[in-house]
Structure 1
Amino acid sequence: MKAADGEECSDVRGAAAAEEPGVSRHRQTPMKPTWTLLEEAAQMKTEGNAFYRERNIRSAIGRYHRALLILRGLDSDVMASVKDFGPETPALMPEQEALLRNTQVDCYNNLAACLLQKDSVDHARVQEYSLRVLQWRPGNVKALYRAGVATLEMGDAQTAKQYLIQACREQPNDANVRKHLQRAEEKLNWELQKEKAMYRGMFSPSSKNSSVEGVKQTNGAGEGV
């Protein structure tokens, strides 16, 4: 497994909220059976994977995005917050719930992976998508890796190290995971050395002498008034 690779991509803001320009909005029909909607979402994801392999990123984004929009209306976690504003959706069977979550996990993982491949990476968005996956799949290696990379780039090496350690436990031979784990450790070591140097400077003899001289000069100036 290459944690940074795979059939994955995206460049959307709020994958479950608005569509990419040029992609028509998928309107769910209440009459459609749940299985039909789940299968449509899975098909959208499959098409997105195919577009991604062809490096047709824009079309892949549209497919992943449409898949998430379809699933939004079936997700009990989402619909619970708006149950008073529309018809109540029936509870999913265990098999349906599993398909919904698996498709969501794949789409959000794919969106995060695509963002990481852009020249200008939105690391906050990568982190957001990866953490959504980890809510449902705490041990998902791809999400752990990408959360670690994004968090490291955002400046939190300590938290990034924890994500990357977990990913490394699952995939100890993955070169990308080990490389970024080493980066996190080097950054933490650099920050520690910098902190030590700062404290040495604060409490060095020359610093103390400077403080004493400053007090003497202040007192001398006061005596002349």
Structure 2
Amino acid sequence: MEAAGGDESMDVQGEAAEPIFSGHRQTSVKPVWTSLEEAAQMKTEGNVFYKEKNFRSAIGRYHRALLVLRGLDSDVMASVKGFAPEIPALTPEQEALLRNTQVDCYNNLAACLLQRQSVDYSRVRDYSLRVLQWRPGDVKALYRAGVATLEMGDAQTAKQYLTQACREQPNDANVRKQLQRAEEKLSRDLQKERAMYRGMFSPSPKSSSEEGIYQTHRASEGVLASQLSPPNEASN
């Protein structure tokens, strides 16, 4: 499943860290709509960079958008209460725009990470799971969480994500391909486990060898005994 240009997002370790509130209270706050529109514009710029395959610049834009939105997120601000200015309660429309922009940015960050030569699958999974917290049925997030989890070695959990994604988009070839990969890995792991248990309970080569030596020794004793016994008397 390829990233869709307008909805993709990206995130990279070491680039544009998330904001940390210090003990100093900020002196001013932008109007809510101004911040929301600023974040949406940054996301749009990131989408343009993504389409141009300029993933580094796209990552920067998506990160900046998330930094702006962080100051409006009531869940985040609750943890820094007393260290940051109070924000007014968002209207339902503002709350929807906030979440939709966050979802798009995290989705697109995961997509960008998957385009890098060295993929940080842990981050891909984490950002996809953030999306799924807000939008449980998001197919892109389910797909990327499945791919990342599979690459990290957990085929069972990966199968759960990819099975759900396949239910949502049964005709998507990429989803079906990754689901097949997960199922094949589970099958291989099961075969290895069965082989291991067979090896634990089957006779070891050493035991078979010792039994053969014992039988040979017993046969040798029989031959020697027959040679030492007196010959039978001839019958009349």
Whether TM exceeds 0.5 here: the answer is yes
Matching residue of 2:98: 100
- Cα drift, residue 55 of structure 1: 1.5
Give every structure 1 segment of 4 or more consecutive aligned residues whose post-TM-superposition deviation is greater than 6 Å. Answer: none
Distance in 2 separating the partners of 1:84 and 1:16: 25
Q: Which residue of 2 aligns with 1:163?
A: 161
Q: Aligned pair 1:13/2:13, yes or no?
A: yes
Partner of 2:201: 203
Task: For 1:167 and 1:12, locate their aligned partners in 2 and report how far apart those are by CA, in whole Å.
Answer: 25
Provide the rounded CA distance (Å) in 2 between the counterparts of 1:91 and 1:18: 22
1:125 to 111, 123, 138: 123
Measured in 2, the distance between the counterparts of 1:127 and 1:14 equals 17
Q: Do 2:9 and 2:108's aligned partners in 1 also have CA atoms closer than 8 Å?
A: yes
- For residues 75 and 16 of structure 1, do their structure 2 counterparts lie closer, same or farther at Cα, with a shift above 3 Å needed? farther
Q: More deviation in 200-209 or 31-40?
A: 200-209
Pick aligned residue for 1:76 from 68, 74, 78: 74
Q: What do the CA deviations read for 1:117-157 (whole angstroms, capped 9, x no partner)? A: 11110000100100000000000000000000000000000
Q: How many residues align?
A: 204
* Structure ID, larger Rg: 2
2:47 counterpart (46, 49, 65): 49
- Contact 1:9 1:57 (8 Å CA) reproduced: no
Say whether the 8 Å CA contact 2:15–2:60 is kept in structure 1: no
Q: Given the superposition, is the C-alpha separation of residues 142 and 72 from structure 1 closer, same or farther in structure 2, using an over 3 Å criterion?
A: same
Q: How does 1:116-195 map to 2 (within 5 A)?
A: 116-195=114-193
**Matched-pair contact (CA < 8 Å) for 2:106–2:131:** yes
Selected match of 1:35 from 33, 36, 57: 33
TM-score, with structure 2 as normaliser: 0.80
2:83 maps to which residue? 85
Q: CA deviation at 1:51?
A: 1.3
Output the CA distance in 1 between the equivalents of 2:135 and 2:163.
Answer: 16
2: distance between equivalents of 1:29 and 1:53?
Answer: 38
TM-score by length of 1: 0.84
Q: Deviations over 1:180-223 (max 9, x none)?
A: 0000000000000000000011111337937x98xxxxxxxxxx
Using a 3 Å threshold, how does the CA distance of structure 1 residues 46 and 91 change in structure 2: closer, same or farther? Answer: same
Give the Å deviation of 1:60.
1.2
